[in-house]
Chains A and B, each alone.
Chain A
Amino acid sequence: MDFSVVLQFLISGVNLGCIYAALGLGFFIVYGVTRVLNLAQGEFVMLGGMLTVSFYAMGISLLPSILLAMIITALAGAVLYRFIIYPARNSSGVTQALLTVGFAFAIEGIALLVWGWEYQSLPNFLDSPNIQFWGATIFGQTPWVVGSTFFMVIGLFLFFGRTIQGKALRACADERLGAKTVGISTERMALFSFILAAILGAVVGAVITPLTMTSYSIGFPLTIKGLLAAFVGGITRVEGVILGGIALGMVEAITAGLMPSGYYGVIALGILIIVFLCRPRGLLSARGKV
């Protein structure tokens, strides 16, 4: 096989992988702190993308548009926790997951009402041109996707490792009762984790829109892929989520290159589900019953 073809697979794989890893981070944060499987994570991505497009279309420049989208999506995250999850904080995990599904449906319906069916897009950030690289093409938006994921991961590591707020979140993730005993408000931390996940989702939504376009209905497939990435890598660790995301991206890019069109979705997801069922604790996961 031609070297440039292999390189092209690698580049698409890294690009997709970074998107899935960034999606998975949202699951990781919420699940780690609250043990809620937030099946509305993809809707945050949808909201971030659609809001950015709307503000940008109003004539606001790109960065403030993204910031506004982040703020509104953060509000949606706060609403989800405060009015839907918090009242059911003592319910079973499945009930809580179903509650997030209800929220996702409502958000999707509202988005359909506000924005209609049409797919929307944005120009590449700073109009970055496509780059030719040893016979392979790097799309102009790809460096932004990879860069923002990298930035988010570094940011999360610093936040969890260095700040008191981040350490409090980690304490909730490790041992809720213990965290409560030393005076950490687990409820506030849970609210915070939903807001953080919503903000990360909004950023992902804004960054991928020039590449993949966005519409009211993109949330659910993204939820599935982010969830599988997080499951496969191990939802309880950042490294696991990133590994899972990159693995899904690579499998999807390679099967898309080698298989007749269309089949790659089935094969990529199928492989991931099988890998997951064989290693249900995730490729990297540590302790605990799964």
Chain B
Amino acid sequence: MSKILLSGHLQYFGVALFAIVLLILPLLAGPYPIAVLVDIGFYSIVTMGLIILMGFAGQISLGQAVFFGLGAYVSGILTTQYHLSPWLALVLAAIATGGIAAIIGRAMLRLRELIVAGVTLALNLVFYYLVTSLVDLTGGASGMTNIPRLSLDGFIPEYTLLNYYLVWIIAFLLLIFSLNLVNSRVGRALRSMNQLAGGSEETAQALGVNIMKYKVQVFALSAIYASIAGSIYAYYIGCIEPDTFGVQLSVRVVIMAIIGGMTSPWGAFLGAGSIVGLTELLREFMPVLIAGPTGAYELIAYGIILVMALLFLPQGLISICHRLVPQGGH
């Protein structure tokens, strides 16, 4: 009991400490690190949804870029062509994306995991074709421009800094929501059906857990996380093009989830932070060491990291933290 309490207190302590670090960090960092931190924020949100899906519900998605892209494009279309407020567009995009994901999930999640991996992978290509052919709505292959910025009425004048706070406040709120979710009735139901957590679908079903309902709900939830991040990304960048939302992005967030560790929503920050940090280092230093086309080293590095992580660190970086910090609770 004391262990559980301790773990609970540690959790609150961790969340509080995290909030303070997030608030103070921009005061210490220059403009370039802040821009990198904004990127980490986007990735963290998408990865957190994927961690709940993969680590807690035991499902897989190789198509999160599609939901990120849906959030970006639906928000972009609603604000530029229908002149809705960006915040309203963000909410509508999240609802639409969640609905689409629920329909896909309903049809797909009764199948074996490997098949789900294949179908979600195929969704990347379907989305790419869709966006490039709906030229009137999306601008086709050349992309969509003039997406309005999110504003807080001059609350923070510096644009990158404003987005830093926006993206990290949302990431922080989603973290609290996720931590509550995985420690709630839903979280227990998910663990009961997840083989990785020692459960089994058959047992869970026999105990009266409606596993299909939970799987679809979590799949839709992970899509909503990705959609929210995608919407803010579109407002932040101002112009979006289909190449951003390809399979590379889908696999990158899977790598982040695996590297970070899928046993806790905290893993999202570890995974996103380490991979984005590494990518920036590669961009800075590799061209100096060996000349080559941009992107080549990133691809090679992602490939090697994914293979190495799966073979040698399947529990992710969070497992190292678990060893350092006494654990209780689940």
Contact = CB atoms under 8 A, between A and B. Distances in A.
B310 interface: yes
B298 to A, nearest CB: 7
Contacts of A277: 107-108, 111, 119
Interface in B97-128: 107-108, 111-115, 117-119, 121-122, 124-126
Given A227-B118, A231-B118, A106 B304 contact: yes
Contacts, number: 133
A86 to B, nearest CB: 11
B126 A102 contact: no
Given A37-B118, A112-B296, A273-B126, A95 B314 contact: yes
A109 B303 contact: yes
Given A227-B118, A277-B108, A266 B133 contact: yes
B300 A94 contact: no
Interface residues of B, number: 46
* Range, interface on chain A: 35 or more
A265 B140 CA distance: 14
Contact of B303 (A105, A220, A223, A270): A105
A102 B114 contact: no
Given A98-B310, A220-B247, A270 B304 contact: no
A120 B218 CA distance: 44
Contacts of A101: 62, 251, 254, 306
A60 interface: no
Interface string A263-288: 10110011001001100100000000
A59 to B, nearest CB: 26
B122 A106 contact: no
B292 interface: yes
Q: Is the contact region of chain B dominated by helix, strand, or loop, or is it mixed?
A: helix
A135 to B, nearest CB: 29
B302 interface: yes
Interface in A90-108: 91-95, 97-99, 101-108
A183 interface: no
B126 A95 contact: no
Contacts of A84: 307, 311
B126 A266 contact: yes
A289 B111 CA distance: 9
Given A262-B129, A262-B132, 5 more contacts: A105-B251, A105-B306, A109-B296, A224-B122, A290-B112
A270 B112 contact: no
A116 B293 contact: yes
A109 B129 CA distance: 23
B300 A110 contact: yes
Interface in A115-148: 116-117
